[in-house]
């Protein structure tokens, strides 16, 4: 395991709060996810970093040594980020400020926008949380956001915004270990995964609710694991669990990705914009970029063809 800044921030937060529960709340993650993260860090460093008792968490001698090095690094990075944010706040007033959840269509979208508006700067802010992006939009920190919304967890948006639907139902495929029995089929029935652990991306606002809803509808109650998004592909590849997979996302040879029969789990791809934003042309560029990304995947290209290519359906901008 390679230690990253976020790992050091987690250790510092636990030491400062004296509690994994409080630190998890401060970091915006679940307590089990933070507990698992600490365990992996301890395994990487070869010793316990915190002793746990009824009074909370206290650094061990090894933990104190690690914290002594980690705190200055975290503080320096905090200063650097503050300086970067201050610089960003001084960007030209005509900058088109875009926020989005991660999607393979983003590079093509930005390329098209910069071609369409050659004299206008375009900035991109990526966040796994659609809800956080909606708050930035409502505060006037963004001009337009592109998000995915699980059916069971629609994004709460402020009134007075323009909206446009890129795709009403984008299917969520399933990622499996290459030697998983279900990987032998071109399409996987969700009931065949009843005995598997399902791993959930804790950074995605609606994924847990979306998966639970689909499993309940299928009469299933498998074990659900929550994990840091960076760990999901590793856990799946080693056969520890199955996980949802965005159809336009890349996947290496270590994963088998298959459509789920009858598409029990879908997301709506939605754009929201502030009044006065040139949404019609901006959304047209996004649709073109998404189509380009979608057609790179032979699996998704086949799915689109079998379903009458829903990308050809027109959706107008609503105000």
Residue 33 to residues 29, 38, 50, 227, Cα–Cα distance (Å): 7, 9, 16, 5
> How high is the pLDDT of residue 283?
95
> How high is the pLDDT of residue 216?
94
Residue 261: other Cβ atoms inside 10 A: 13
Written as tens digits, the pLDDT of the chain (319 aa) is 677 888 889 999 999 999 999 998 888 888 888 999 999 898 888 899 999 888 788 999 999 988 988 888 888 877 776 765 665 555 567 899 999 998 999 999 999 999 999 989 999 999 888 888 988 998 889 999 999 999 866 777 767 888 999 999 999 999 999 999 999 999 999 999 999 999 988 778 788 889 999 999 999 999 998 776 667 888 898 898 999 999 998 877 889 999 999 999 999 999 999 988 889 999 999 999 999 999 999 999 999 999 998 888 776 677 6
Could you tell me which of 101, 112, 121, 168 has the C-alpha nearest to residue 284? 112
Q: Which CATH number fits domain 5-88: 3.40.50.2300, 1.10.10.10, 1.10.10.60, 3.30.830.10?
A: 1.10.10.10
| CATH code for the domain defined by 173-258 | 3.40.190.10
Residue 51: other Cβ atoms inside 10 A: 13
CB 128 within 8 A of CB 204: yes
Question: CATH 3.40.190.10: which residues of the chain?
Answer: 91-169+266-312, 173-258
Strand pairing report for 96-100 and 122-126:
parallel
Could you tell me which of 75, 66, 44, 57 has the C-alpha nearest to residue 14? 57
Could you tell me which of 238, 232, 100, 106 has the C-alpha nearest to residue 178? 238
Question: CATH 1.10.10.10: which residues of the chain?
Answer: 5-88
CATH domain 91-169+266-312 topology:
D-Maltodextrin-Binding Protein; domain 2 (3.40.190)
Residue 186 backbone phi and psi in degrees, to 5: -70, -25
> How high is the pLDDT of residue 229?
67
- Is the pTM for the entire model greater than 0.75? no
Residue 58 to residues 55, 75, 167, 213, Cα–Cα distance (Å): 9, 21, 49, 39
């Amino acid at each position: 395991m390679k230690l990253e800044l976020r790992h050091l921030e987690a250790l510092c937060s636990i030491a400062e709060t004296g509690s994994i529960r409080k630190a998890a709340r401060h970091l915006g993650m679940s307590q089990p996810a933070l507990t698992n993260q600490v365990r992996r860090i301890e395994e990487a460093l070869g010793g316990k970093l915190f002793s746990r008792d009824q009074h909370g968490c206290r650094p061990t001698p090894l933990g104190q040594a690690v914290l002594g090095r980690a705190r200055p690094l975290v503080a320096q990075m905090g200063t650097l980020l503050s300086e970067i944010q201050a610089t960003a706040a001084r960007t030209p007033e005509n900058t088109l400020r875009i926020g989005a959840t991660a999607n393979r269509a983003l590079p093509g979208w930005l390329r098209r926008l910069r071609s369409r508006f050659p004299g206008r700067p375009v900035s991109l802010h990526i966040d796994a949380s659609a809800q956080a992006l909606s708050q930035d939009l409502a505060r006037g920190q963004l001009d337009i956001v592109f998000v995915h919304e699980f059916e069971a967890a629609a994004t709460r948006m402020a009134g007075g915004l323009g909206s446009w639907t890129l795709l009403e139902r984008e299917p969520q495929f399933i990622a499996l270990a290459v030697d998983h029995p279900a990987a032998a089929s071109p399409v996987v029935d969700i009931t065949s995964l009843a005995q598997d652990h399902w791993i959930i991306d804790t950074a995605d606002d609606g994924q847990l609710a979306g998966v639970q809803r689909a499993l309940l509808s299928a009469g299933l109650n498998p074990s659900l694991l929550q994990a840091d998004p960076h760990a999901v592909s590793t856990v799946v590849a080693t056969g520890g669990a199955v996980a949802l997979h965005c159809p336009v996302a890349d996947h290496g040879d270590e994963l088998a990705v298959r459509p789920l029969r009858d598409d029990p789990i879908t997301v709506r791809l939605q754009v929201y914009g502030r009044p006065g934003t040139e949404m019609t042309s901006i959304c047209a560029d996004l649709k073109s970029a998404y189509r380009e990304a979608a057609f790179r995947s032979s699996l998704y290209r086949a799915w689109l063809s079998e379903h009458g290519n829903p990308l050809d359906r027109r959706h107008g901008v609503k105000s």
